[in-house]
């Protein structure tokens, strides 16, 4: 943490000691004869002299204090037995993350580290708040109800900078209202899930909507308020959603066919759809398992990309700053 702050642009170090300095020229322990001692009332020097004169003196003196010592020891054992067990360390607990966390790690492990492992302060984002508002309006349109609870920024899966609405052009919600999705009632809206992967790793998330265009066919849709992203890591979100639908079983009967869709609402509607079959699901599970394994190995090497432009931690990341300078 100190090195990250010291190396950040704009940081001025007034003084930094780099050596241990010179040792004192003379080190002496003052004579402690007569000093109070809980074990030797007359001081340890007197006890040493008594032992020199009579080698059996320590054993005889200790024998006189055995009963008192045993009493203190039993009292201490009772106190220790009444203490609660120490809490599990983070290393002992199963990995728990979110779909957003997996997308963040796939984009840049260092960004995940500074977000979930050793969090650094982040800038408040009005764009992210706007993205949440659009998602809530879509949810209300689909449900036809107005919930009473407040919404925070963690309500929806919002990987990376894709929560940023497109500047200019048609309002994202108006784009949604003119799309095929607004005229169809979803089978599920904002459905949460808790998925177990790679043994005991837990991944939680929330799917925007699941439509059923025809009996037995489900379409998992995630709405994005921005324009289409070029980040390959974004696909992790759809992978996690499809695996969740296959594993969690939102209904007693699984869908016969499945497809996943990103619906980008920024600058007009853009749909990116993929059909899901058994091979697709296997590849998705393998990819998610690989990400989880890398997190468990604590691999935090940065992977600079276009995501660096919107990264809150850019000033602390030399590789990210170099990539951004080279790309401009």
Q: Residues 163, 76: one domain? A: no
Is 75 in the same domain as 220?
A: no
CATH number for the domain that contains residue 264: 3.90.320
Query: How many C-beta atoms surround the C-beta of residue 180 within 10 A?
Result: 11
Mean pLDDT of 168-176: 81
Q: What is the pLDDT of residue 150?
A: 44
Identify the domain boundary among 83, 116, 149: 83
pLDDT of 250: 86
Structural domain boundaries enclosing 79: 35-83
- Using CB atoms within 10 Å of the CB of residue 120, give its burial: 0 to 12 exposed, 13 to 18 middle, 19+ buried: middle
For 205, residues 6+ apart whose C-beta sits below 8 A from its C-beta are 98, 99, 100, 157, 192, 193, 195, 240, 241, 244
Does the residue 2 lie in any domain? Answer: no
Does 321 reside within a domain? no
Of 299 and 67, which is predicted with more confidence? 299
Shared domain for 79 and 113, answered yes or no, is no
Would you say how long the chain is, in residues? 328
231 shares its domain with 178: yes
pLDDT above 60: residue 163 = no
| Of 148, 277, 300, 142, the residue nearest 221 (C-alpha) | 142
Tokens standing for residue 44: 């340890």
Among 11-25, 245-259, 282-296, where is mean pLDDT lowest? Answer: 11-25
Residue 281: its pLDDT value, please? 96
In eight-state DSSP terms, residue 211 is E
Rounded to whole angstroms, the Cα distance separating 10 from 8 reads 6
- DSSP category for residue 218: E
d(CA 78, CA 258): 61
* 104 and 77 within one domain: no
Are 113 and 208 contained in the same domain?
yes
Helix, strand, coil content of the chain in percent (nearest 5): 40, 15, 40
Same domain (yes/no): 128, 181? yes
Can you tell me the mean pLDDT for 254-276?
94
Domain boundary among 83, 116, 143: 83
More confident residue, 304 or 39: 304
How many CA atoms within 13 Å lie on the side-chain side of 190? Answer: 16
- Section 147-160 average pLDDT: 48
Examine residue 6 and state whether it is found in any structural domain, yes or no.
Answer: no
- Over residues 149-161, the mean pLDDT reads 49
pLDDT tens digits, one per residue of 272-283: 999 999 999 999
Share of the chain above pLDDT 70, in %: 83
Residue 320 within any structural domain of the chain = no
Looking at the domain assignment, is residue 322 inside a domain? Answer: no
* Number of domains making up the chain: 2
Mean pLDDT, residues 85-95 taken together? 68
Which DSSP category does 233 fall into? G
90 assigned to some structural domain: no
Residues 53 and 104 in one domain: no
Cα distance between residue 268 and residue 265, in whole Å: 6
260 and 130 housed in the same domain: yes
The average confidence (pLDDT) of the chain is 83
pLDDT attached to residue 44: 77
Joined tokens for residue 27: 């080190």
Cβ neighbors of 255 (< 8 A, separation 6 or more) are 212, 216, 217, 218, 245
At 29, is the pLDDT very low, low, confident or very high (cuts 50, 70, 90)? low
- Asked if residue 255 and residue 151 are part of one domain, the reply reads yes
CA distance 129 to 148: 18
193, pLDDT greater than 80? yes
Indicate the helix (H) or strand (E) that contains 117: none
Residue 183 in domain = yes
* pLDDT tens string 93-122: 789 999 999 999 999 999 999 999 999 888
Q: Please provide the distance, in angstroms rounded to a whole number, between the alpha carbons at the two ends of the chain.
A: 29
- The β-bridge relationship of strands 270-276 and 257-264 is antiparallel
pLDDT in tens, 7-16: 777 777 777 7
Q: Average of pLDDT values for 207-222?
A: 95
* Residue 162 pLDDT > 50: no
289: helix, strand or coil = helix
Q: At CA 241, angle to CA 306 and CA 192, rounded to 5?
A: 110
Same domain (yes/no): 262, 208:
yes
> With 80 as the cut, is the pLDDT of residue 213 above it?
yes
Please tell me the pTM assigned to this model.
Answer: 0.68
3-state secondary structure of 10: coil
Residue where a domain terminates, one of 51, 83, 115: 83
Tokens of 67: 């009963």
In angstroms, the CA 73 to CA 315 distance is 55
Half-sphere CA count of 119, side-chain side, radius 13 A? 6
Q: How much is the pLDDT for 321?
A: 92
71 and 105, same domain (yes or no) = no
User: Is residue 91 a part of any domain in this protein?
Assistant: no
């Amino acid at each position: 943490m100190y090195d990250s702050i010291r190396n950040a642009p704009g940081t001025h170090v007034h003084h930094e000691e780099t050596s241990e300095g010179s040792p004192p020229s003379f080190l002496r322990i003052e004579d402690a004869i007569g000093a109070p001692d809980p074990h030797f009332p007359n001081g340890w020097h007197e006890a040493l002299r008594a032992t020199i004169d009579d080698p059996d003196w320590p054993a005889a003196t200790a024998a006189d204090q055995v009963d008192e010592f045993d009493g203190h020891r039993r009292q201490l054992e009772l106190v220790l037995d009444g203490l609660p067990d120490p809490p599990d360390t983070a290393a002992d607990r199963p990995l728990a993350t979110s779909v957003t966390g997996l997308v963040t790690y796939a984009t840049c492990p260092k960004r995940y580290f500074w977000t979930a492992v050793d969090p650094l302060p982040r800038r408040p984002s009005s764009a992210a708040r706007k993205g949440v508002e659009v998602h809530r309006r879509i949810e209300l349109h689909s449900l036809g109800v107005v919930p009473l609870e407040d919404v925070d920024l963690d309500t929806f899966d919002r990987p990376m900078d894709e929560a940023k609405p497109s500047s200019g052009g048609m309002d994202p919600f108006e784009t949604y209202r003119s799309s095929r999705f607004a005229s169809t009632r979803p089978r599920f809206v904002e459905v949460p899930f808790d998925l177990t992967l790679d043994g005991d790793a837990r991944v939680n998330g929330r799917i925007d909507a699941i439509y059923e265009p025809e009996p037995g066919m489900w379409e998992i849709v995630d709405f994005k308020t921005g324009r289409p992203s070029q980040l390959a890591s974004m696909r992790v979100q759809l992978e996690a959603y499809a695996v969740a639908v296959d594993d969690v079983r939102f209904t007693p009967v699984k869908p016969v066919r499945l497809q996943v869709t990103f619906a980008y609402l920024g600058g007009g509607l853009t749909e990116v759809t993929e059909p899901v079959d058994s091979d697709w699901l296997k590849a998705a599970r393998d990819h998610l398992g690989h990400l989880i394994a890398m997190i468990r190995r604590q691999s935090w090497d940065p992977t600079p990309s276009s995501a660096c432009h919107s990264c809150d931690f850019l000033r602390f990341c030399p590789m990210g700053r170099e990539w951004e300078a080279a790309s401009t």
